[in-house]
Structure 1
Amino acid sequence: MFKNDNKEKIMKLGCFSISLAVKDLEKSKAFYEKIGFEVFAGEESHGFLIMKHGDTNIGLFQGMFEKNILTFNPGWNQNAENLESFDDVRQLLEQFKSKGIQIAEDSVAAEQGPSSFSIIDPDGNPILIDQHV
């Protein structure tokens, strides 16, 4: 079992998925269906699909970004259902800044509702914190 020895509040990052930058959406969809994923959301005509296998979510995005992205959606569970209690993207942004984490892109707007920001891990992997509620 995970133990938080430093007694620090654990951040609630929300629904996790990996967003894959794919070259051919149709081929990627067919591949992931073969290993048990089903289309959960998205629109092929708009260049993206969200595939689901149990609690595992994979986003397939054609022509939207260059690298794969780790994505967290505060306010959602793994089924993209709104959570009653969650850490708002604005709270997370301030917590990340207070820990000295450099913010790569800050699109946080207004005092509530949908917003996002991104960070880059030490290996260059983009991480998107994308709140929809």
Structure 2
Amino acid sequence: MKLGCFSVSLSVKDLQKSREFYEKLGFTVYAGEESHRFLIMKNGDTNIGLFEGMFDKNILTFNPGWDQDASPLDSFTDVRELHEQLKAKGLEILHPSLDSDNGPASFSVIDPDGNPILFDQHV
């Protein structure tokens, strides 16, 4: 099971203040737009997403099909296959968006402590 790029998606109250804080920790803006209220920041292979007003909790995020630089992988486990594997293991699947046989799709699970985990494939 190849989960792809990992990041933590943080729910922030003030995008600009959060950006400035994480820049002090050595992160730089990699993607996203402040006008859309989100930024993706990198420090080496570590990725974090800052999302203002988009969700209530921080989310662990996996992007099947991408490496840590959001570059497409030649080989990966498709999000639909991950969905079936996790469902078969008895995990409750939330918010499935699996409308086609390939390409972008997503779903979520919740760990035993209530932490959301998003599987979000862009390729």
| Separation of aligned partners in 1, 2:109 and 2:98 | 13
Shift of 1:109: 1.2
The residue identity in structure 2 corresponding to 1:89 is V
| TM-score, reference length from structure 1 | 0.92
Equivalent residue in structure 2 for 1:75, among 60, 65, 69: 65
Aligned residue pairs, count = 123
- Equivalent residue of 2:108, what SS? strand
What residue in structure 1 maps to residue 105 of structure 2?
A: 115
Equivalent residue in structure 1 for 2:4, among 10, 14, 18: 14
- Equivalent residue of 2:16, what SS? helix
The residue identity in structure 2 corresponding to 1:117 is F
Report whether the alignment pairs 1:31 with 2:25: no
| Separation of aligned partners in 2, 1:88 and 1:131 | 8
Q: What percentage of aligned pairs have identical amino acids?
A: 72
Shift of 1:105: 1.5
Shift of 1:104: 1.7
Question: Which is greater in Rg?
Answer: 1
List, as ranges, runs of 4+ consecutive aligned residues in structure 1 with deviation greater than 2 Å. none
The residue identity in structure 2 corresponding to 1:104 is L
| TM-score, reference length from structure 2 | 0.99
Q: What root-mean-square deviation, in Å, do the aligned CA atoms of Structure 1 and Structure 2 show?
A: 0.4
- Equivalent residue of 1:75, what SS? coil
Equivalent residue in structure 1 for 2:86, among 83, 92, 96: 96
Q: Where does structure 1 lack aligned partners over 5 or more consecutive residues? A: 1-10
- Equivalent residue of 1:45, what SS? helix
